[in-house]
């Protein structure tokens, strides 16, 4: 447990709050309008402004203007001869002789590899949990989807006949763990991609060999004096990203389904209004469902129920944030408090007893926010300790008992809530989530043929995966919601993951009633099937579900993924993981539009390769467009070109 001194050190002091607090109504109104389109979040942002509770937007403003060399990717502090920065026309090379192209490309590969490592290490944690479960060493986990276990086992050539689930699960998890550092130089699940797509990878020399190998090789290549060709470095970035999308992330998705169940359509609700005044509120934030699934089970424990009664609460209200929230939403229907830029605001409702975090996308400053209220921040991963948080390390061996301990801490904290400081800012919006590939197939009657037929007839013009984060550079949720609305209006079905999906949910676009906002063809299809025009496909690692969906459609049509009338978009991305996702989309043949410019403007050669040159390598490329209306136009044009090429 962190000591009191450490928690005192991270506190936002009264003096800091007094300096930050704003009372000018015009300035407050302007900030509210420019920060978010999430109306339910606005009263809470208003509180933070008036009470001087620092948020991500305040820190973003303080950081302006950013260094223009860093923004362009032109600074390098890779070795002790530096740091160096390129000033075009003045200083063209770093101390070692690296030019702008090399510095920009190395920085980008470093960023991408960080993202691929984060996803894939998450995947490894899930696979290890399956292994521990299979050998009887885990606490509380069971195999929930035995059918999926058998399908995966068959893909890996593992015999299932006459064997127990645990034996099959042990062999499967060992086979997957072996692929992290494999010597066979092949990732099994890449075989899900159509042959045409795999042929492109083979020709370009970017077929991924193993998960860890590509990330480690990326780190090797960016060392001073190794990779000096910007193009060669960027191509390895695609290979690394493929090892994430068709490797580490896909393992994370598939084995989460085996352990916790393959998602199926489920109703729930979203926005900060999911916080309940008379209940113990616990938010589950991060990415990995290993802990949060145990928390869901622990709240039904009789000892916990007795404690809740003793403390005078009506019950326990679990709410999700970011992708841990997405995992729980689509499998358990746990309500979702919000996406990335909502994380501090949940605490600032004044009604949150505990913020339980695992890893990724968690602001290190959350204990500072919590210091303004009674909220306890509880960290659970050895990889993600946070100063000022209480640490309760979780492993597969102790998961249930630690989850129960954490829930008890939250319940104990309920009487400490200051009832006069609670703001519950609005009513939650209803959402339908849980569209795994299996669920989409089932909704279509057991085969993707009807979807292909609808696309061929033009009732649905194409499909777009909208993914990724929030970023204070873009008005919160504006990029996601605007792009999604524009696309469905044009009869393009959207599949979404991560914070993009949550933005759509809060805006009412994940409800079957949103079919009314779609074009006539898509609207008719949605009404017939009773589904929304935007399908929630899960968390960040579940972008791998989008790959599987595209692969299935391409196989049915007998084409490569690049020939489909499909595209990707990340309108508000911020994270290194998003760089990896965007790159595995493009490397898999999916034209992808980014709403935020990566730090590459300092190398025109890099910009040209990513936005044009890749087309001749993987038959797809990136575009960068911050205006979601123009992004929609780019995507519509692309989809119509692909339709024409297919003769439909
Ligand atoms: Fe400077 Fe080269 Fe070292 Fe980078 S690797 S800090 S450019 S000397
Ligand atoms: S949580 S990676 S902010 S989508 Fe997956 Fe959201 Fe991006 Fe994190």
Selection from 358, 345, 467, 344 nearest residue 403 by Cα: 358
In this predicted structure, what is the pLDDT of residue 616?
98
The answer to whether the CB of 228 is under 6 A from ligand 1 is no
Q: How far is CA 627 from the centre of its chain?
A: 22
Do the strands 266-270 and 429-433 form a parallel or antiparallel pair, or are they unpaired?
A: antiparallel
Domain residue spans in the chain? 2-65, 100-260, 272-421, 434-646
Q: b/e string for 76-113 if b means 16 or more Cβ within 10 A?
A: bebeeebebbbeeeeeeebebebebbbbbbbbbbbbbb
Which residue's alpha carbon is at the smallest distance from atom 3 of ligand 2?
469
CA torsion 148-153-159-163 (nearest 10°) is -50
- Grouping H, G, I as helix, E, B as strand and the rest as coil, residue 391 is strand
The size of the chain, in residues, is 648
The answer to whether the CB of 56 is under 6 A from ligand 2 is no
Q: Write the pLDDT tens digit of every residue in 376-412.
A: 999 999 999 999 999 999 999 999 999 999 999 999 9
Q: How far apart are CA 148 and CA 110, in angstroms?
A: 35
How is 547-609 classified by DSSP, letter by letter? HHHHHHHHHHHTS-GGGSSEEEEETT--SHHHHHHHHHHHHTT-EEEESS--TTTT-HHHHHI
Q: How far apart are CA 187 and CA 251, in angstroms?
A: 11
In this predicted structure, what is the pLDDT of residue 23?
84
Residue with tokens 């949940």: 346
In this predicted structure, what is the pLDDT of residue 3?
60
CA 254-467-481 angle, 5° bins: 135
Q: What count of other Cβ atoms lies within 10 Å of the Cβ of residue 225?
A: 9
In this predicted structure, what is the pLDDT of residue 8?
80
Whether 272-421 and 100-260 are alike in CATH topology: the answer is no
Q: What fold characterizes domain 434-646?
A: Rossmann fold (3.40.50)
pLDDT < 70 stretches in the chain: 1-3
Name the residue of 499, 506, 538 whose CB sits within 8 Å of the most ligand 2 atoms, as the mutation to test its pocket.
Answer: 499
Residue 21: cis peptide before it, omega within 30 degrees of 0 = no
Q: How far apart are CA 522 and CA 561, in angstroms?
A: 22
In this predicted structure, what is the pLDDT of residue 207?
98
Q: How far apart are CA 309 and CA 316, in angstroms?
A: 10
Q: How far apart are CA 318 and CA 353, in angstroms?
A: 11
Residue with tokens 């084409």: 559
401: left (phi over 0), alpha (psi -120 to 50) or beta: alpha
Do the strands 462-466 and 492-497 form a parallel or antiparallel pair, or are they unpaired?
A: parallel
Do the strands 316-321 and 492-497 form a parallel or antiparallel pair, or are they unpaired?
A: unpaired
455's CB contacts (< 8 A; 6+ apart) are: 461, 462, 463, 565, 648
Q: How far apart are CA 478 and CA 588, in angstroms?
A: 28
In this predicted structure, what is the pLDDT of residue 1?
46
CA 421-9-351 angle, 5° bins: 20
Distance 217 CA to ligand 1 centre (A): 19
Which residue's alpha carbon is at the smallest distance from atom 7 of ligand 2?
469
CA 560-563-569 angle, 5° bins: 105
Q: How far apart are CA 586 and CA 593, in angstroms?
A: 10
How is 423-449 classified by DSSP, letter by letter? ---SPPEEEEE---HHHHHHHTTSSSH
E strands, 146-240, where? none
Distance 5 CA to ligand 2 centre (A): 31
Give me the residues paired with residue 40 across strands: none
Name the residue of 256, 322, 330 whose CB sits within 8 Å of the most ligand 2 atoms, as the mutation to test its pocket.
Answer: 322
CA 246-611-546 angle, 5° bins: 30
Distance 222 CA to ligand 1 centre (A): 10
Supply the DSSP symbol for 36: B
Phi and psi of 268, rounded to 5°?
A: -160, -160
In this predicted structure, what is the pLDDT of residue 598?
98
Q: What fold characterizes domain 272-421?
A: Rossmann fold (3.40.50)
Q: Find the ligand nearest to 327 CA.
A: 2
The pTM of this model reads: 0.97
How is 209-236 classified by DSSP, letter by letter? --HHHHHHHHHHHTSTTS---HHHHHHH
Q: How many CA atoms lie within 13 A of 363 on its CB side?
A: 25
Q: How far apart are CA 507 and CA 306, in angstroms?
A: 38
What are the tokens at 73? 């990717």
What are the tokens at 552? 């299935």
Residue 83: cis peptide before it, omega within 30 degrees of 0 = yes
Distance 599 CA to ligand 1 centre (A): 17
176's CB contacts (< 8 A; 6+ apart) are: 127, 156, 251, 255
Supply the DSSP symbol for 273: G
Residue with tokens 């393992």: 251
What are the tokens at 316? 């326990």
In this predicted structure, what is the pLDDT of residue 103?
98
Question: Which atom of ligand 1 is nearest to 94's Cα?
Answer: 7
Distance 62 CA to ligand 1 centre (A): 29
Name the residue of 288, 575, 579 whose CB sits within 8 Å of the most ligand 2 atoms, as the mutation to test its pocket.
Answer: 575
Give me the residues paired with residue 566 across strands: 463
In contact, 417 and 353? CB cutoff 8 Å:
yes
- Which residue blocks in 63-138 are alpha helix, DSSP H? 68-71, 100-134
Which residue's alpha carbon is at the smallest distance from atom 7 of ligand 1?
94
Q: How far apart are CA 461 and CA 487, in angstroms?
A: 10
Distance 170 CA to ligand 2 centre (A): 31
Look up the CATH number of domain 100-260: 1.20.1270.30
The alpha carbon dihedral of 188, 189, 195, 201 has a sign of negative
Q: Find the ligand nearest to 575 CA.
A: 2
Q: How far apart are CA 341 and CA 334, in angstroms?
A: 19
For the packed helices 25-35 and 42-51, what is the interaxial angle rounded to 10 degrees? Answer: 140
Supply the DSSP symbol for 392: -
Q: Find the ligand nearest to 76 CA.
A: 1
Selection from 589, 613, 606 nearest residue 109 by Cα: 606
Q: Find the ligand nearest to 476 CA.
A: 2
Q: Find the ligand nearest to 467 CA.
A: 2
Q: How far is CA 220 from the centre of its chain?
A: 27
The alpha carbon dihedral of 409, 410, 411, 415 has a sign of positive
Q: How far apart are CA 455 and CA 297, in angstroms?
A: 42
């Amino acid at each position: 447990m962190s000591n009191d001194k450490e928690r005192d050190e991270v506190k936002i002091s009264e003096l800091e709050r007094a300096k930050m607090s704003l009372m000018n109504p015009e300035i407050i109104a302007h900030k509210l309008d420019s920060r978010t389109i999430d109306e339910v979040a606005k009263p809470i942002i208003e509180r933070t402004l008036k009470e001087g509770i620092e948020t991500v937007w305040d820190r973003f403003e303080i950081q302006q203007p950013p260094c223009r060399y860093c923004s362009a990717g032109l600074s390098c502090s890779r070795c002790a001869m530096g740091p160096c920065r390129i000033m075009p026309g003045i200083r063209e090379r770093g101390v070692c002789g690296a030019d702008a192209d090399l510095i920009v490309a190395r920085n980008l590969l470093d960023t991408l590899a960080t993202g691929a490592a984060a996803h894939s290490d998450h995947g490894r944690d899930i696979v290890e949990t399956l292994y521990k479960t299979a050998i009887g060493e885990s606490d509380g986990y069971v195999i929930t989807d035995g059918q999926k276990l058998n399908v995966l086992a068959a893909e890996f050539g593992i015999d299932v006949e006459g064997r127990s689930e645990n034996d099959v699960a042990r062999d499967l998890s060992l086979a997957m763990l072996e692929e992290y550092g494999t010597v066979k130089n092949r990732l099994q699940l890449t075989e899900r991609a159509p042959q045409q797509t795999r042929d492109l990878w083979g020709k370009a020399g970017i077929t991924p060999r193993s998960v860890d190998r590509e990330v480690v090789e990326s780190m090797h290549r960016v060392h001073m004096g190794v990779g000096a060709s910007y193009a060669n470095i960027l191509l390895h970035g695609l290979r690394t990203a493929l090892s994430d999308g068709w490797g580490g992330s896909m393992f994370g998705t598939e084995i989460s389904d085996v352990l916790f169940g393959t998602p199926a359509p489920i109703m729930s609700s979203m926005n900060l209004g999911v916080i309940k005044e008379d209940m113990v509120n616990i938010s589950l934030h991060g990415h990995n469902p290993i802990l949060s699934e145990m928390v869901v089970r622990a709240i039904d424990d009789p000892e916990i129920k007795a404690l809740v009664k003793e403390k005078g609460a009506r019950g326990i209200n679990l709410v999700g944030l970011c992708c841990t929230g997405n995992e729980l939403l689509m499998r358990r229907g746990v309500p979702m408090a919000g996406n990335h830029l909502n994380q501090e605001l949940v605490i600032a409702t004044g009604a949150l007893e505990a913020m339980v975090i695992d890893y990724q996308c968690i602001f290190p400053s959350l204990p500072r926010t919590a210091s303004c209220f009674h909220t306890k921040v509880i960290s659970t991963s050895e990889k993600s300790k946070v100063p000022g948080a209480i640490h309760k390390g979780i492993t597969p061996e102790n998961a249930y008992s630690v989850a129960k301990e954490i829930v008890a801490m939250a319940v104990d904290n309920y009487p400490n809530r200051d009832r006069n400081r609670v703001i519950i800012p609005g009513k939650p919006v209803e959402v339908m989530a849980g569209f795994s590939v299996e669920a989409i197939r089932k909704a279509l009657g057991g085969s993707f043929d009807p979807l292909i037929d609808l696309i061929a007839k033009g009732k649905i013009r194409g499909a777009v995966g909208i993914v990724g984060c929030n970023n204070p550079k873009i008005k919160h949720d504006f990029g996601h919601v605007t792009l999604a609305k524009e696309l469905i209006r044009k009869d393009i079905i959207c599949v979404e993951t991560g914070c993009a999906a949550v933005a759509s949910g809060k805006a009412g676009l994940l409800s079957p009633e949103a079919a009314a906002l779609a074009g006539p063809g898509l609207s008719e299809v949605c009404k017939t099937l009773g589904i929304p025009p935007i399908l929630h496909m899960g968390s960040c690692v579940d972008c791998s579900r989008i790959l599987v969906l595209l692969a299935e459609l391409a196989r049915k049509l007998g084409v490569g993924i690049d020939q489909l009338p499909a595209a990707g978009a990340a309108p508000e991305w911020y994270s290194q993981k998003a760089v990896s996702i965007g790159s595995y989309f493009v490397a898999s043949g999916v034209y992808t539009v980014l709403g935020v410019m990566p730090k590459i403007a300092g190398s025109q050669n890099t910009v040209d390769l990513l936005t044009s040159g890749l087309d001749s390598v993987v038959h797809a490329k990136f575009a960068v467009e911050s205006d979601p209306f123009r992004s929609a136009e780019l995507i519509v044009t692309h989809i119509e070109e692909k339709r024409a090429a297919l003769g439909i």
